[in-house]
């Protein structure tokens, strides 16, 4: 039972990354390699606000999210906006540039020292099904549920949200209906930034320290989740996150082979290959 | 938005040039689209009709020359800004948003209207539903599951709901069954009675001539004739468009009325 | 192959002391490494630039090649030639295993699988002691034979250059044969590729296996240049990303650019490894700036500079443009034809269901050899779905489809295309990023009598066939009067022109059954007349068979021998055109009430 519960918690955080990847992919057919790294860099803002300015974790969290949104907006304005007609692989390379930039800034400013960020809630927790789930994990589950629901509602029930969805269907036709292509693009990248920051904030307590590239596993999990979900549906990304989280937790719990270092990585590859062989339509996706 | 000044020209192009890469497609086009009338653009495949429409829409950039919508210079505006200024589109192939419902499609179509004046949206939606009761029935259905005729209705309504000054229509009849073409023609004729300005590109010359008050012929990216459609006689059409034997029957052919005249075996070549 | 092997053995022996000492050894070494990485860049360019498949673990393939060659040369005491060969075979096999599950599917699954494969190599395999000494790594001696080694980096440079030439030759042949056209079509649209008869999964695998084999070679060459590899060698995720950066910045699909970029990048290793802190930040910023301002890469910038500026070429001669004439159909396929009138295609109780929608419901129809059969009906009646069922793009729920008496409902789309069923699409089924000429060549994909192996080596049969294809394409283009547009991407043509090219593509191969989905939509009236004439030619001159969906009623009544009418997924009428035209049920469902004229 324990792996499943832990898997659901990690998986829901993967789902946030997967939502960001899927949203950007739907809107602009670009795979965003920086989806987890933006939040990793901005987490240092949280550290600075809480440890140096002695503000609460929540203030620090807002600082991180705001900084991530700002990075998303600047990147969209200066890079993505100029690449509307560029091949999509080239735009993906631009996001590799953003990824490198985030890593480079982390290395330049913060390498060599271990940064520790206390968790948002220091004690408390409730057991479910015989598994102890601490307060931070509850917080993660709650935040993910609220964020995903809010995003879904925004897209479905507001004019701007509908314009975003229409633009995902057909950007030129949406533009011909008056949907503001530039602001839609800005929105998707800002949202991707915010999702990145939130996901890193939520997963940080399980890692415990900040270091450049410390959350690479988050990107791998999120990308796998997005692809398992079919890259085209937001609910699919969510379910994909849970599936990947649970699968990974099960592997960690039951499959450890001493002679092969980091065997769980190998196990994940084998699982992915098996899923692709046995369920070729993807876990949720349809073939058509 | 516009001042009270009466303009007789809804859309004015002067010396417009455009193309792709090293290829010039539109060579200095001058065009006046009169207010409250339907103007048709006709020409052979590759004459640049659809590109001209895209240039006016702002999807293909203008290399030189000017485009005025009413009194406003829109040459450098983004497509969505032109829509906000009163331009609306019925794109080629209809291009409804397949994953959105009928009503959501209409709401996207009314995007700039709702930003200007949200209160009038409900009235306009009701008007659209009165004109097309079929759409009201299917308001919650995903647009991708509509039939071709219903998608055509949706595409036209999506343009009309935004209260436009001019509607650009690209090949509305392409790929539609004759009975639907006929329905669509009636719908557009009805829209015409509202005094709406329309600019139409149409390959189905019969359809185009029924709808358009005036027409211009595009050839190799230049306008070689423009004037009243009534003066566009068979000879001139035959010269410029190669309208020949296959479509030279009565007007109803190709509009779906062919069946009434059947059997038309006599028209078959031996 | 044998001569190549002999060369590899003879060359080091012969030149060991003969090479002039032009440069210091470490300069040669840098060049050796640079060439290895240039080959890696060619390998990734083939996969990403041509076939459009993303590999995020290319460095891991390099690692696999290096370790494979290391095992041969240091554990098994084999020659370096054997080591390189073993590296190529190993990585090709690995690519097949890793790629097969991902490439059967559409989408970016190769990206995720290669990403994880890369991490597996990085964290598990390279650190385990099974294949190497763990962090001690494995040595890659340049063993010539037995205990003979060569150490001169200049000699190694000559060998590297020869290998680069081999890879270059293979890559050139990929581009100029049907392999490259298949890759580029798949990159753009897999459905279109299938309709042209291209087995998509097989070609995607071919791309990945070829690319993997080249990467393995590159890795082994890198290893033999340096002398050993371990888990600190540059085979990690970052290196995979750097390779992608090289290829994209140089210009996707440009082989020479990829090689140059690879050389520059690695001959001056300090260029990147020397970047620390702020310099690294500036490097990342510069990358984003370059790709956003020149998405077509440096090669594209160079090409654009050489291209003339658009001039207002004043060809306003007042003359009417000549009407494009569809090329006369040619008998390219040499299948023995059935006697006229015998059933070519039989659709027997076929149903197709999408979720709750019964799109096609028990349709029964026969298309006799040497006739033109029309299929009409309202929008949404299921005509195109029936076409998709016949050509294999959707699966039938029940019923049988026979072509030349053989049941085909179980075959893939491209297999049916190779049997002689070709079709056009409502949304124009061309590779729109490819030029008109390439599309005509693409259309002849199934006519190629050469295997992919022959194509890679450009054996006589391959070059002869390609010559034939090119002649045929040029004739068709000349007939259309599109000579000036021949190298223009199809995307830049107008909708009607694209449709004309699509149908001309079907005419140049004239397969047994030509299925046309609304061919005259968007065509000028004169072009539609020309179309009607060509359809009759197909039937009367070549004895071919046509199945036609069309809303242009006069065209249908004029050309068809027999007409089926579909409404809401069911056949509601069939008969000769004049019977259909007067059938009250058809008038009601399709033609509609007459226009008040």
Instruction: Work out the average pLDDT over C361-388.
Output: 91
Q: Report the alpha-carbon distance of residue C342 to residue C339 in Å, rounded.
A: 6
**Distance between terminal CA atoms of chain B?**
61
Q: What pLDDT is recorded for position C362?
A: 92
The three-class DSSP label of residue C330 is: coil
Do A260 and C108 make contact, defined as CB atoms within 8 angstroms?
Answer: no
Q: Give the confidence band of C12 by pLDDT, cuts at 50, 70, 90.
A: low
Q: Give the confidence band of B186 by pLDDT, cuts at 50, 70, 90.
A: confident
Contact A93, C245 (CB under 8 A): yes
Q: What pLDDT is recorded for position B247?
A: 45
Output the pTM of the full model.
0.85
Crossing angle of helices C525-540 and C495-509, in 10° steps, is 10
Q: Report the alpha-carbon distance of residue B242 to residue B50 in Å, rounded.
A: 19
Give me C8's structure tokens: 């590899």
Do C241 and A265 make contact, defined as CB atoms within 8 angstroms?
Answer: no
Per-residue burial over A135-146, b = 16 or more CB atoms within 10 Å of its CB, e = otherwise? bbbbbbbebbee
Q: What pLDDT is recorded for position A167?
A: 93
C-alpha torsion B106→B109→B115→B117, nearest 10: -60
Give me C456's structure tokens: 């890679």
Contact B30, B223 (CB under 8 A): yes
Give me C593's structure tokens: 């009430």
Average pLDDT, chain B: 81
Task: Among C314, C557, C595, select the one facing B256 at the smallest CB separation.
Answer: C595
Look at residue C597 and tell me whether its pLDDT is greater than 60.
no
Q: Report the alpha-carbon distance of residue C509 to residue C440 in Å, rounded.
A: 9
Q: What pLDDT is recorded for position A12?
A: 93
Put simply, whether C64 touches A (Cβ < 8 Å) is: no
Instruction: Work out the average pLDDT over B79-99.
Output: 90
Do C108 and A108 make contact, defined as CB atoms within 8 angstroms?
Answer: no
Q: What pLDDT is recorded for position B29?
A: 92
Nearest residue to C26 via CA among C198, C153, C174: C153
Crossing angle of helices A159-169 and A2-28, in 10° steps, is 80
Do B89 and A172 make contact, defined as CB atoms within 8 angstroms?
Answer: no
More confident residue, C233 or C190: C190
pLDDT per position as a tens digit, C167-214:
999 999 999 999 999 999 998 888 889 889 899 999 999 999 999 999
**Pairing mode, strands C545-549 and C513-517:** parallel
Instruction: Work out the average pLDDT over C37-45.
Output: 94
More confident residue, B238 or A73: A73
pLDDT per position as a tens digit, C286-316:
888 888 888 888 888 887 777 665 555 555 5
Q: What pLDDT is recorded for position C336?
A: 67
Task: Among C532, C553, C597, select the one facing B178 at the smallest CB separation.
Answer: C553
Q: Is the peptide bond before B263 cis (omega within 30 degrees of 0)?
A: yes
Contact A95, A31 (CB under 8 A): yes
Contact B252, B57 (CB under 8 A): no
More confident residue, B99 or C7: B99
Quote the percentage of chain C above a pLDDT of 90: 39
CB contacts < 8 A, A to C, total 145
Q: Determine which of B5-9, B189-193, C58-62, C370-374 has the lowest per-residue pLDDT on average.
A: B5-9
pLDDT per position as a tens digit, B22-42:
778 899 999 999 998 999 998
A285 min Cα distance to partner chain B (Å): 15
Q: What pLDDT is recorded for position A287?
A: 41
More confident residue, C257 or C47: C47
Contact B138, B146 (CB under 8 A): yes
Cβ neighbours around A127 below 10 Å, total = 9
Do B78 and A181 make contact, defined as CB atoms within 8 angstroms?
Answer: yes
Do B258 and C581 make contact, defined as CB atoms within 8 angstroms?
Answer: yes
Do A98 and C288 make contact, defined as CB atoms within 8 angstroms?
Answer: yes
Nearest residue to B83 via CA among B201, B168, B196: B168
Instruction: Work out the average pLDDT over B204-214.
Output: 86
Half-sphere exposure of C3 (CA within 13 A, CB side): 1
Do B264 and C315 make contact, defined as CB atoms within 8 angstroms?
Answer: no
Q: Give the confidence band of C18 by pLDDT, cuts at 50, 70, 90.
A: low
pLDDT per position as a tens digit, B162-181:
989 999 999 888 888 888 88
Q: What pLDDT is recorded for position C50?
A: 93
Q: Report the alpha-carbon distance of residue A208 to residue C491 in Å, rounded.
A: 53
A222 min Cα distance to partner chain C (Å): 11
Strands in C463-595 per DSSP E: 513-517, 545-549, 562-567, 570-575
Considering Cα of C314, then C317, then C318, then C323, what sign does the dihedral take?
A: negative
Look at residue C64 and tell me whether its pLDDT is greater than 90.
yes
Quote the percentage of chain B above a pLDDT of 70: 83
Among left, alpha and beta (phi > 0; psi -120 to 50; other), residue C88 is alpha
B214 min Cα distance to partner chain A (Å): 25
Q: Give the confidence band of C538 by pLDDT, cuts at 50, 70, 90.
A: confident
Interface test with A, best of B79, B121, B142, B166 (most A CBs within 10 A): B79
Q: Report the alpha-carbon distance of residue C411 to residue C133 in Å, rounded.
A: 49
Q: What pLDDT is recorded for position C436?
A: 94
Q: What pLDDT is recorded for position C15?
A: 55
Return per-residue pLDDT of chain A as tens, 288 residues: 678 888 899 999 999 999 999 999 988 889 899 999 999 999 999 999 998 898 999 999 999 999 999 999 999 999 999 888 888 888 888 998 899 899 888 888 887 788 888 888 877 777 777 778 888 888 999 999 999 999 999 999 999 999 999 999 889 999 999 999 999 999 999 999 999 999 999 998 887 778 887 788 888 889 888 888 878 788 888 888 998 898 888 887 877 676 666 777 777 777 777 777 776 655 555 443
Contact A192, A31 (CB under 8 A): no
Nearest residue to C372 via CA among C538, C502, C219, C253: C538
Distance of CA B70 to the CA centre of its chain: 18
A135 min Cα distance to partner chain C (Å): 32
Considering Cα of B210, then B211, then B216, then B222, what sign does the dihedral take?
A: negative
Q: Report the alpha-carbon distance of residue A161 to residue C355 in Å, rounded.
A: 28
Counting as contact any 3 or more CB pairs under 8 A, the partners of B are: A, C
C117 min Cα distance to partner chain B (Å): 35
Q: What pLDDT is recorded for position C595?
A: 36
C587 min Cα distance to partner chain B (Å): 6
Per-residue burial over C205-237, b = 16 or more CB atoms within 10 Å of its CB, e = otherwise? bbbbbbbbbbbbbbbbbbbbbbebbbbebbbbb
Q: Report the alpha-carbon distance of residue A78 to residue C292 in Å, rounded.
A: 8
* Helices of type H across C45-70: 58-70
Put simply, whether C245 touches A (Cβ < 8 Å) is: yes
More confident residue, C134 or C104: C104
Q: Give the confidence band of C61 by pLDDT, cuts at 50, 70, 90.
A: very high
Look at residue B248 and tell me whether its pLDDT is greater than 50.
no
Do A159 and B114 make contact, defined as CB atoms within 8 angstroms?
Answer: yes
Q: Give the confidence band of C17 by pLDDT, cuts at 50, 70, 90.
A: low
Residues of chain A contacting B100 with CB distance shorter than 8 Å: 162, 165-166, 169
**Pairing mode, strands C143-145 and C148-149:** antiparallel
Q: What pLDDT is recorded for position B18?
A: 92
CB contacts < 8 A, A to B, total 68
Q: Report the alpha-carbon distance of residue C203 to residue C189 in Å, rounded.
A: 13
Q: What pLDDT is recorded for position B119?
A: 87
Nearest residue to C570 via CA among C408, C345, C344, C365: C365
Do C288 and A86 make contact, defined as CB atoms within 8 angstroms?
Answer: no
B199 min Cα distance to partner chain C (Å): 17
Residues 6 or more apart whose Cβ sits within 8 Å of residue B76: none
Do B246 and C525 make contact, defined as CB atoms within 8 angstroms?
Answer: yes
Task: Among B175, B222, B256, select the one facing C592 at the smallest CB separation.
Answer: B256
Put simply, whether B86 touches A (Cβ < 8 Å) is: no
Q: Report the alpha-carbon distance of residue A184 to residue A164 in Å, rounded.
A: 6
Put simply, whether C17 touches A (Cβ < 8 Å) is: no
Residues of chain A contacting C284 with CB distance shorter than 8 Å: 97-98, 100-101, 104
Contact C115, A220 (CB under 8 A): yes
Half-sphere exposure of C448 (CA within 13 A, CB side): 28
């Amino acid at each position: 039972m324990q792996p499943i519960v832990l898997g659901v918690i990690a998986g829901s955080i993967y789902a946030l990354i997967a939502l960001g990847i899927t949203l950007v992919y739907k809107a602009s057919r670009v795979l965003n390699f920086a989806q987890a790294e933006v939040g990793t860099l901005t987490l240092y803002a949280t550290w600075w606000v809480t440890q140096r300015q002695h503000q609460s974790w929540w203030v620090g969290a807002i600082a991180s999210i705001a900084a991530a949104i700002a990075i998303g907006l600047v990147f969209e304005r200066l890079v993505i906006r100029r690449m509307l007609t560029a091949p999509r692989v080239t735009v993906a390379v631009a996001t590799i540039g953003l990824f490198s930039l985030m890593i480079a800034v982390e290395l330049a400013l913060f390498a060599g020292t271990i940064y520790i960020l206390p968790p948002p809630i220091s004690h408390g927790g409730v057991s479910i099904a015989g598994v102890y789930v601490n307060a931070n994990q509850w917080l993660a589950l709650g935040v993910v549920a609220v964020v995903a629901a809010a995003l879904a509602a925004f897209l479905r029930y507001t004019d701007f949200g509908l314009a975003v969805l229409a633009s995902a269907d057909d950007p030129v036709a949406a533009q011909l209906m008056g949907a503001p292509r530039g602001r839609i693009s800005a929105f998707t990248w800002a949202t991707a930034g915010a999702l990145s920051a939130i996901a890193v904030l939520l997963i940080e307590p399980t890692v415990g320290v900040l270091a450049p590239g410390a959350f690479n596993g988050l990107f791998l999990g999120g990308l796998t989740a997005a692809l398992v979900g079919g890259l085209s549906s937001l609910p699919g990304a969510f379910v994909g996150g849970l599936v990947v989280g649970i699968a990974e937790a099960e592997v960690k719990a039951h499959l450890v082979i001493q002679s092969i270092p980091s065997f769980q990585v190998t196990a994940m590859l084998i699982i992915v290959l098996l899923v692709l062989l046995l369920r070729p339509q993807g876990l949720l996706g349809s073939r058509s | 938005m516009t001042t009270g000044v009466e303009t007789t020209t809804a859309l004015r192009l002067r010396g417009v040039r455009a193309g792709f890469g090293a290829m010039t497609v539109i060579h200095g086009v001058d065009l006046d689209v009169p207010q409250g009338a339907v103007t048709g653009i006709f020409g052979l495949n590759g004459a640049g009709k659809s590109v001209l429409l895209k240039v006016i829409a702002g999807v293909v950039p203008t290399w030189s020359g000017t485009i005025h919508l009413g009194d406003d210079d829109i040459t450098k505006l983004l497509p969505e800004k032109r829509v906000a200024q009163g331009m609306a589109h019925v794109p080629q192939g209809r291009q409804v948003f397949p994953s959105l419902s009928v009503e959501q499609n209409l709401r996207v179509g009314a995007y700039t209207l709702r930003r200007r004046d949200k209160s009038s949206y409900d009235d306009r939606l009701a008007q659209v539903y009165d004109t097309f009761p079929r759409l009201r029935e299917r308001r919650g259905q995903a647009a991708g599951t509509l039939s071709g005729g219903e998608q055509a209705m949706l595409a036209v309504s999506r343009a009309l709901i935004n209260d436009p000054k001019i509607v650009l229509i690209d090949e509305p009849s392409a790929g539609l069954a004759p009975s639907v073409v006929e329905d669509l023609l009636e719908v557009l004729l009805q829209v015409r009675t509202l005094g709406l300005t329309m600019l139409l590109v149409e390959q189905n010359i019969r359809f185009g001539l029924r709808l358009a008050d005036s027409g211009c012929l595009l050839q190799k990216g230049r306008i070689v004739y423009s004037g009243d459609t009534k003066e566009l006689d068979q000879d001139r059409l035959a010269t410029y468009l190669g309208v020949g034997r296959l479509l030279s029957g009565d007007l109803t052919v190709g509009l779906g009325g062919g069946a009434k005249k059947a059997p038309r075996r006599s028209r078959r070549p031996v | 192959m044998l001569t190549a092997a002999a060369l590899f053995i003879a060359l080091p022996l012969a030149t060991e002391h003969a090479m002039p000492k032009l440069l210091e050894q470490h300069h040669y070494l840098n060049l050796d490494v640079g060439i290895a990485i240039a080959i890696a860049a060619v390998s990734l360019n083939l996969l990403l630039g041509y076939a459009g498949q993303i590999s995020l673990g290319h460095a891991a393939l390099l690692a696999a090649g290096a370790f494979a060659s290391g095992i041969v040369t240091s554990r098994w005491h084999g020659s370096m030639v054997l080591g390189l060969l073993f590296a190529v075979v190993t990585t090709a096999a690995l690519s097949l295993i890793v790629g097969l599950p991902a490439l059967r599917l559409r989408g970016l699954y190769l990206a995720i699988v290669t990403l994880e494969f890369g991490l597996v190599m990085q964290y598990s395999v390279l650190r385990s002691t099974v294949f190497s000494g763990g962090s001690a790594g494995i040595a890659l001696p340049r063993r010539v034979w037995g205990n003979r080694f060569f150490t001169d980096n200049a000699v190694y440079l000559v060998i590297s250059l020869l290998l680069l030439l081999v890879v270059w030759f293979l890559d050139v042949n990929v581009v100029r044969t049907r392999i490259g056209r298949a890759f580029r079509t798949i990159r753009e649209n897999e459905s279109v590729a299938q309709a042209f008869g291209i087995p998509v999964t097989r070609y995607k695998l071919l791309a990945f296996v070829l690319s993997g084999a080249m990467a393995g070679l590159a890795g082994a060459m890198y290893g033999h240049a340096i002398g050993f590899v371990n888990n600190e060698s540059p085979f990690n995720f970052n290196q995979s990303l750097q390779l992608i950066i090289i290829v994209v910045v140089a210009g996707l699909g440009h082989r020479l650019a990829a090689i140059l970029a690879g050389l520059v990048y690695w001959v001056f290793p300090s260029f990147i490894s020397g970047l620390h802190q702020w310099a690294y930040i500036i490097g990342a910023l510069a990358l984003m700036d370059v790709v956003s301002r020149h998405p077509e890469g440096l090669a594209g910038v160079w090409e654009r500079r050489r291209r003339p500026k658009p001039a207002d070429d004043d060809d306003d001669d007042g003359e009417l443009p000549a009407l494009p004439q569809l090329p006369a159909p040619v008998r390219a396929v040499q299948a023995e034809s059935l006697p006229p009138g015998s059933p070519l295609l039989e659709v027997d109780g076929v149903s197709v269901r999408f979720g709750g929608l019964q799109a096609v419901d028990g349709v029964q129809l026969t298309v006799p050899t040497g006739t033109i059969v029309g299929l009409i009906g309202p929008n949404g009646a299921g005509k195109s779905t029936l076409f998709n069922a016949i050509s294999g793009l959707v699966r039938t729920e029940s019923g049988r489809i026979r072509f030349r008496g053989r049941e085909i409902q179980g075959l893939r789309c491209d297999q049916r295309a190779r049997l002689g069923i070709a079709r056009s699409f409502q949304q124009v089924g061309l590779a729109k990023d490819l030029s008109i000429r390439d599309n005509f060549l693409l259309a002849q994909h199934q006519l190629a009598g050469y295997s992919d192996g022959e194509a890679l080596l450009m054996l006589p049969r391959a070059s002869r066939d390609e010559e034939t294809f090119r002649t045929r394409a040029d004739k068709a283009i000349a007939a259309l009067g599109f000579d000036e547009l021949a190298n223009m991407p199809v995307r830049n043509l107008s909708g009607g022109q694209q449709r004309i090219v699509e149908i001309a593509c079907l005419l140049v191969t004239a397969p047994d059954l030509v299925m046309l989905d609304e061919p005259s939509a968007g065509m000028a009236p004169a072009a539609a007349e020309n179309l009607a004439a060509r359809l009759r030619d197909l039937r009367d001159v070549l004895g071919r068979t046509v199945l036609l969906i069309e809303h242009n009623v006069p065209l249908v009544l004029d050309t068809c021998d027999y007409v089926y009418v579909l409404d809401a997924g069911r056949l509601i009428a069939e008969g000769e055109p004049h019977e259909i035209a007067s059938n009250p049920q058809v008038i009601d469902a399709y033609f509609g009430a007459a226009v008040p004229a």
